[in-house]
Amino acid sequence: MDRIRALRARLHACPELSGHETRTLDTLEAFLRENTTLTVERRPEGLLATHWEGDGLPILGFRADVDAIPVEGDPARARHGCGHDGHSTILCALAVRLEGKRVGKNLRLIFQPAEETGEGARRILDTWPEMAALHRIYGLHNIPGYPRGTVLARRGCFARASQGFIADVQGRPAHAAYPDQGANPAAVLCEAVLRLPRFIEDILQGDDRVLMATVIGLRLGGENFGLAAAEGRLCLTLRGDRQVDIEALAQRLRDFIDRGCAELTMTAAYHSRDVFPDTTNTPGAVDEALARWSAARLPVRLLPEPMSWSEDFGHYLKAMPGTFFGIGIGESHPGLHTADYCFDDAIIEAAAEAFWTLI
């Protein structure tokens, strides 16, 4: 545990933004080479540590994210405000615990960069041939607001899908005295915002699953009072229990804005940012995990609602069976991404135990 805690301190001291986790992966690689006999492979997409007992045995994957988040107000700097330094340490604690044991299974420990931008899991799935052979994949997140070390499980959706939606409308400028000679995007973008509740109702058709749209920004024209607005940008965060609902909502918005643009011969361009799928657990895999945790008498709580934040682990769960779960980090622990948040080493053993029980 001293070596494990020292590792966490080293990771905490070198937070790196998504896609720039070089020193972090160096540190993890060095730790695994010094403290375990796992086969360690450094790749452009992350770090893979393998425990292989023989062909034909089931292969389980365990994934930890390694990236940090931007400092509020200083986005070029990073800090570990989501506890990924803790997550990667937990996976190393599992590796150490595994040392010298035979478990009747093959294991892949996956250290994944770029979770916060929703890109890392996709990249690994697209490039690592080993991923297609996994029988199960497991991942966890520390969660403030729950008792320390409690396993937080959920059947179905664990964390919601989300996506940044951007619409850029290009109209034509006109003197403010002759607005009819130009094309002003104000009406179509404002109307799109006002229609959001109706679009959402149409998609959900009375079902009680969650779908929401948050206005992040709406910019139109400038401050020259002689000039009618000729361009506008609408930014929304779409969030929901299902990624397909989010896609349907984005399509509604595009159709509506395109129609409004056609009337005034304006053009619209669309972009999406930070696309996260829903992290939905595989039914059989959750029940199996619950049975194992209960047999090992670990404290488990079933969550009534999915987490409203998103997790790129959902990409793995769309490709293979598995379970994502939470580990409570204390009822009064500061929230994830808040200025006061810092991972607490006190949950490392309980979290590694929750993984170990799944093996």
Residues contributing to the site for Zn ion (CB under 5 A) = 82
Q: How far is the CB of 44 from Zn ion (least distance, A)?
A: 22
End-to-end CA separation in angstroms for the chain: 21
For Zn ion, give the closer residue by CB, 47 or 82. 82
The least CB distance from residue 82 to Zn ion, in Å, is 3
Minimal distance, residue 87 CB to Zn ion, in Å: 7
Q: How far is the CB of 135 from Zn ion (least distance, A)?
A: 25
Between 82 and 253, CB nearer to Zn ion: 82
Tell how strand 157-159 and strand 106-112 pair up. unpaired
**Shortest-Cβ-distance residue relative to Zn ion:** 82
Q: Which amino acid belongs to residue 7?
A: L
Of 82 and 114, nearer to Zn ion (C-beta) is 82
Residue count of the chain, please give it.
359
Q: Give 218: exposed, middle or buried? Use CB within 10 Å, 0-12, 13-18, 19+.
A: middle
Q: Is the Cβ of residue 65 or residue 353 nearer to Zn ion in the bound state?
A: 65
Question: What is the closest distance, in whole angstroms, from the C-beta atom of residue 220 to Zn ion in the complex?
Answer: 32
User: How far apart are CB 112 and Zn ion at their closest, in Å?
Assistant: 11
- For residues 114 and 18, the answer to whether their CB atoms sit within 8 Å is yes
Phi and psi of 69, rounded to 5°? -110, 160
DSSP symbols for 170-211: E-B--BTT-GGGSB-THHHHHHHHHHHHHHHHHHHTT--S-E
Q: Smaller CB distance to Zn ion: residue 116 or 168? A: 116
Report the alpha-carbon distance of residue 67 to residue 44 in Å, rounded. Answer: 14
| CA distance readout (Å), 280 to 91, 243, 319 | 22, 10, 11
* DSSP annotation of 222: -
Rounded Cα–Cα distance for residues 313 and 356 (Å):
19
Closest approach, Cβ 265 to Zn ion, in A, equals: 43
Name the residue nearer to Zn ion (CB basis): 120 or 185.
120
Q: Distance of CA 177 to CAs 76, 173, 180, 182, 247, Å? A: 44, 12, 9, 11, 40
Measured from the CB atom, is 143 or 350 closer to Zn ion? Answer: 143
Buried b (16+ CB within 10 A) or exposed e, 197-206: eebbeebbee
Q: Pairing state of beta strands 136-143 and 59-65?
A: parallel
Cβ proximity to Zn ion: between 19 and 179 the closer is: 19
Q: Please give the single-letter amino acid code of residue 335.
A: G
Nearest distance from C-beta of residue 328 to Zn ion, angstroms: 15
